[in-house]
Amino acid sequence: MKINKKTTRIIVALLIFFIGYLFPREDYKMYCHLFAYILAGYDVIIKSVKNISKGQVFDENFLMCIATVGALALSDVAEAAAVMLFYQVGELFQGYAVGKSRNSIKELMDICPEYANVERDGNVERVYPEDVEIGEVIVVKPGEKIALDGEVVYGESSVDTKALTGESIPIYKGKGDEVLSGCINLNGLIKVKVKTSFDNSTVSKILELIEDSADEKSVTENFITKFAKVYTPFVVAIAALLVIVPTLFLKLDFNTWLYRGLLFLVVSCPCALVISIPMGFFSGIGAASSRGILIKGSNYLEMLSKADIFVFDKTGTLTKGEFKVSEIDCVDIERENLLEIASYIETFSTHPISLSIVKEFGKEIDITKVKNFEEISGHGVKGEVFEMEVLAGNERLMDKFNVPFEKKDSTGSVVYIAINGKYAGCIVVKDEVKADSLETISSLKNMRIKTAMLTGDGKEVAQEIGEYLGLDEVHSKLLPKDKVDLTKKLMKGGTLCYVGDGINDAPVLKMADVSIAMGGLGSDAAIEASDIVIMTDEPSKILTGIKISKKTIRIVKENIIFSLGIKAGVLILGAVGIASMWMAIFADVGVAVIAILNSMRALSVNNKVLNNNDSILKI
């Protein structure tokens, strides 16, 4: 524990308190204890007076003042000093525990670069990342953090993305590859052409997300906050009645019942719940962040533990989204010509299927040859290529423009192409299922969670993947509106979690109870549209998220039961005259410290347990 002025003051007060017992005379003993009380508790008294002047009467400082001043009024100076010292020592440990928890999360998210080496006029200048303009080139030496998102224009190296993804496996980056801010350059000097400003960089968006997560409170947190506001004035009134009724109406000893009333006040302070519960959720969010799972608020962490239905998009979520051209059918046109025309019209689309066609063509594309490009949602693309009207998309696109075509039976995704209103052939591309998709679906089903897949792909492709993974429901050939309608229907069956790529599924991600964006690395849309962002492309991270959420909720419940149980026990003992003010302070500050330390357990989730899917069921 760090030794600061307050810690030193409390240590000195403790020494004076114990020295008092060395004096045989009672007046010397009393002076020592009174001085120890003032030295240890003057800040508490000052805070209480200031808060009362602001109208904030019923807080912990007020309760401590009432309890200790009452003890002084009863001529029990030693107990007043002891209670204040016990309280302040508890506060020190509580502050240490909270600080350690916050520092753990700060270390996990300490990815913000402090400087950037930028090339200007033939020289390399060290500047703040905020001062680097888009288009400038930064130099990143081995061991340095990459300051801004951009493209490697010189050199090659391995990059550590652990701060963003939670994975420690280095990734090779060479000329033409994109790199993200917050990652660490491991072994080679590289030069990076900046593509985004610092405010819009990956690292800034992630840090903003983590900072904002504290504003989104869970149902449990909201309840406790409202509960404390009503609860504290209520217990003050009860404590007053506890003193007034026995002494005025039953003619019992005033000092005895004043002491019990003061004890009741101290025990009833709800600080253990008010502090430890948000700390538990904060720790859970930190644990998830360290594993590449960014959760925007404790409400989403809590909802994840209650999910009844998981609905998945297909492309880029359950499958790799890395399409490869497997077949090209031509009608009255050469294969290379059809592929060239398809590549030109698809060059403006960012859809994985479009990118795979352009990649298969493998030649430089003159974008000036493409005019009047238009992307038709749920259908495909249209435009002019080499002054020819070209359509490229699914069956619905051909039907929309009344183009007769030959339907292709394939388990891959089929892109039909029409030139000047005439069917010219089709290109078949296939996607691969991710390595851990089967494990993820199987584990969710073992947890008795319903699974479904919504996709715009054809029935054959969807059914093949659905049967392989063992999904409960598969819905294919869907337009964006169809996905919204089906999601509304599925939400009637319970708490629904939708998992998509965060780009094409924005309407559904927004309406789901909990939305998860897969592969959030470098995707602004993923971070903006969803409640939870998985920074890698691993569906199995969903299981990790569920594990962390369930552990966090369990810890929060433990704190509630433990705090209320101890307080109830001490209140009963106090009512019958057994409990002392020392026990009351333990029921307040001691319980708060224990509850906070328990909350910190959410920061650490055993990897062995994470790999054991059965363990998730036992929580």
Nearest partner of 147 among 187, 196, 108, judged by Cα: 196
For residue 597, count other CB atoms closer than 10 A to its CB.
Answer: 17
Are 214 and 185 in contact by the 8 Å Cβ rule? The answer is no
Pick from 545, 542, 549, 543: which is nearest to 499 by CA? 542
Say how far residue 498 (Cα) sits from the centre of its chain. Answer: 16
Hey, what amino acid is at 414?
A: V
DSSP 3-state assignment of 413? Answer: strand
Is position 253 annotated as part of the catalytic site?
no
Q: What is the 3-state secondary structure (H, E, C) of 185-198?
A: ECCCCEEEEECCCH
How many degrees, rounded to 5, is the angle at CA 329 between CA 324 and CA 332? 140
Lookup result for tokens 């996905």: 483
How far is 242 from 249, CA to CA, in rounded Å? Answer: 11
What are the backbone angles phi and psi of residue 79, rounded to the nearest 5°?
A: -70, -40
For the CA atoms of 126, 129, 132, 138, the dihedral, rounded to the nearest 10 degrees, stands at 60
Distance CA 497, CA 494 (A): 10
Instruction: Enter the tokens of residue 489.
Output: 């229907």
Give 3-state DSSP helix, strand, coil % of the chain, rounded to 5: 55, 20, 30
- Other CB atoms within a 10 A radius of the CB of residue 379 amount to 20
The residue annotated as part of the active site, out of 76, 149, 160, 313, is: 313
> 459-469 vs 437-446: helix axis angle to the nearest 10?
60
Inter-helix orientation angle 77-108/271-289, to 10°: 20
Q: What residues are paired with 382 via a beta bridge?
A: 374, 391
Active site residues: 313
